[in-house]
């Protein structure tokens, strides 16, 4: 099951991204009854910019996103754009976070009392680091909350403060206190060497809740399960410079059950004095609904995000908008500490994006129109720029992109040797 792993990618690989799927490309581009619209919003904990909204804490997101909820959007994923794990100092944009919201199209008008409310809770980290036991305890607590009729959206570790001796400590400030970061300089290769920077963190957990008696039936008694996450890595010193994982093999058994991937955790840090491992472990978190949904197909994208100046220049947004036309729902984004500089000196980081769609029946009455486009030439930079405007004055990334499958390199769909196209499962 699944495509065999290729050799671990060259750390200097500059390809824009790779796509892995349980389907062949014509099936990926099969029209379904569901089409999604996405909004990508960036938030900073250290000041606003033309395309970035300032919040003093991510605990303010429910209020900040409310204008979108009134328009039918809901939060599907939240992640930091840059991870400074293993570096000598905090990198620029370490306090920049991305929120992805989605709504079905055509947009349905729901009575106000049926629209979910986004809730956030701050949970203390037991101990001074994120471990397997910590995550398992998190899942137990999520299940306890879910029995009260809420749905788990995801969690994020929010940076709070300064430099320590390579250890993660519980926060010592209130949720609304502005974070402090150490002095920063433009990033360079020296920052890819030693592990001395680690900020204080707080775990923020997000839920969707409804007024009493108003929760959808499939949101009642949801259960959350852990799944294995493992990857091989290359390093420069202590810093992860490349990774490889059989994403389809790791997730396929859960998707076949109709479960949804909603969150992920990786234990990036290596305790001082211990040998540097060539593999890393973590956990996926899956949602099982009370109803019996069909099996899910999946797409996994390893994608580079490039930051030019203070703005995101290139990311997974164009691809996401293209796949939305075929009913693909983004449910999780795994940020990585893999960071490089492109030929123009811009900061680039790799992220892993997970999308799913109910498996199509062989006899389902759907349009099978497949969009045949080259996937060898990247989209021009001007087409990747964020559009102005949005709801409530927020800047929005997205809208009006051509097919972004062309944004990934030729042969981007994972395939076996000697075959032009392959189903990866």
* Domain locations along the chain: 17-161+199-357
Please provide residue 381's backbone torsions phi and psi, each rounded to the nearest 5 degrees: -60, -35
What ranges in 83-224 are assigned the alpha helix state H? Answer: 132-146
Q: How many Cβ atoms sit within 10 Å of the Cβ of residue 2?
A: 16
Q: Do the Cβ atoms of 79 and 58 come closer than 8 Å?
A: no
194 burial via Cβ count (<10 Å: 0-12, 13-18, 19+):
middle
Burial class (CB within 10 angstroms; exposed 0-12, middle 13-18, buried 19+) of 185: exposed
DSSP string covering 21-53: ESS-HHHHT---S-EEEEEEEEEESS--BTTBE
Its pTM stands at: 0.77
Identify the CA nearest to 134 among candidates 232, 207, 205: 205
Containing 264, the helix (H) or strand (E) segment is: strand 260-266
Residue-level pLDDT at 217 = 65
Give me the DSSP letters along 273-338: TSPPPSEEEEEEEEEE-SS-PPPEEEEEEEEEEEEETTEEEE-SHHHHHHHHTTT-EEEEEEEEEE
Distance CA 269, CA 254 (A): 27
CA distance 270 to 280: 9
Residue 310 neighbours by CB under 8 Å, 6+ apart: 49, 51, 52
- pLDDT value at residue 336: 93
Nearest to 222 by CA among 137, 135, 287: 287
User: How big is the CA angle at 108 (ends 77 and 213), to the nearest 5 degrees?
Assistant: 75
Q: Which distant-in-sequence residues (6+ apart) come within 8 Å of 321 by Cβ? A: 38, 398, 399, 401, 404
SS3 384: helix
Sequence-ordered list of residues with C-beta below 8 angstroms from that of 144, at least 6 positions apart, any chain: none
pLDDT at 108: 61
CB proximity list for 269: less than 8 A, separation 6 or greater? 85, 86, 129, 166, 168, 195, 198
Exposed/middle/buried for residue 208 (C-beta within 10 Å: 0-12, 13-18, 19+)? buried
Distance of CA 369 to the CA centre of its chain: 29
Phi and psi, residue 45, nearest 5°: -95, 5
User: Would you write out the chain's pLDDT as a tens digit for each of its 425 residues?
Assistant: 444 334 444 444 555 678 999 999 999 999 999 999 999 999 988 877 778 899 999 999 999 999 999 998 999 999 999 887 756 555 667 788 999 999 998 766 666 667 899 999 998 776 666 788 888 989 999 999 998 889 999 999 876 654 333 333 333 322 322 333 333 434 743 333 333 444 566 789 999 998 877 766 666 679 999 999 999 999 887 788 899 999 999 999 999 999 999 999 998 877 677 777 889 999 999 999 877 778 999 999 999 999 887 778 889 999 999 999 999 999 999 999 999 988 888 989 999 999 999 998 753 433 332 222 222 223 232 332 233 234 443 334 333 334 455 544 433 455 333 322 333 33
């Amino acid at each position: 099951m699944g495509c065999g792993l290729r050799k671990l990618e060259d750390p200097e690989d500059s390809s824009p991204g790779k796509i892995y799927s349980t389907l062949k490309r014509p099936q990926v581009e099969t029209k379904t009854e569901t089409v999604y619209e996405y909004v990508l919003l960036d938030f900073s904990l250290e000041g606003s910019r033309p395309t970035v909204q300032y919040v003093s804490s991510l605990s303010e997101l429910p209020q900040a996103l409310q204008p979108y909820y009134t328009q039918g959007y809901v939060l599907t994923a939240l992640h930091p754009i840059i991870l400074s794990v293993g570096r000598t100092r905090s990198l620029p944009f370490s306090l920049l976070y991305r929120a992805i919201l989605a709504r079905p199209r055509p947009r349905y008008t729901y009575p106000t009392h049926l629209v979910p409310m986004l809730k956030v809770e701050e949970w203390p980290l037991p101990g001074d680091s994120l471990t397997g036991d910590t995550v398992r305890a998190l899942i137990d607590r999520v299940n306890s909350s879910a029995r009260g009729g809420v749905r788990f959206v995801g969690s994020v570790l929010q940076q709070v403060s300064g430099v320590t001796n390579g250890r993660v400590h519980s926060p010592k400030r209130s949720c609304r206190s502005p974070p402090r970061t150490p002095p920063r300089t433009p990033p360079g290769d020296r920052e890819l060497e030693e592990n001395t920077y680690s900020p204080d963190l707080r775990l923020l957990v997000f839920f969707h809740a409804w007024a009493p008696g108003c929760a959808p039936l499939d949101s009642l008694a949801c259960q959350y399960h852990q799944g294995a996450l493992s990857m091989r890595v290359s390093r420069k010193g202590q810093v992860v410079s490349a990774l490889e994982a059989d994403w389809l093999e790791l997730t396929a058994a859960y998707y076949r059950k109709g479960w949804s991937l909603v969150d992920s955790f990786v234990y990036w840090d290596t305790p001082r004095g211990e040998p540097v491992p060539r593999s890393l472990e973590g956990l996926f978190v899956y949602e099982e609904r009370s109803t019996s949904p069909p099996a899910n197909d999946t797409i996994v994208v390893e994608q580079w995000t490039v930051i030019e100046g203070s703005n995101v220049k290139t990311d997974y947004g164009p691809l996401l908008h293209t796949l939305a036309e075929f009913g693909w729902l983004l449910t999780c984004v795994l940020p990585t500490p893999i960071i490089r500089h492109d030929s123009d000196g811009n900061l680039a980081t790799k992220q892993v994006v997970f999308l799913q769609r109910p498996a199509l029946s062989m006899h389902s009455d759907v349009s099978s129109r497949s969009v045949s486009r080259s996937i060898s030439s990247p989209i021009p930079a001007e087409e990747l720029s964020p559009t102005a405007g949005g709801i409530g004055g927020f800047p929005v990334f997205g809208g009006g992109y051509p097919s972004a499958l062309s944004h990934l390199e030729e042969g981007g769909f994972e395939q076996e040797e000697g075959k032009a196209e392959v189903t990866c499962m």
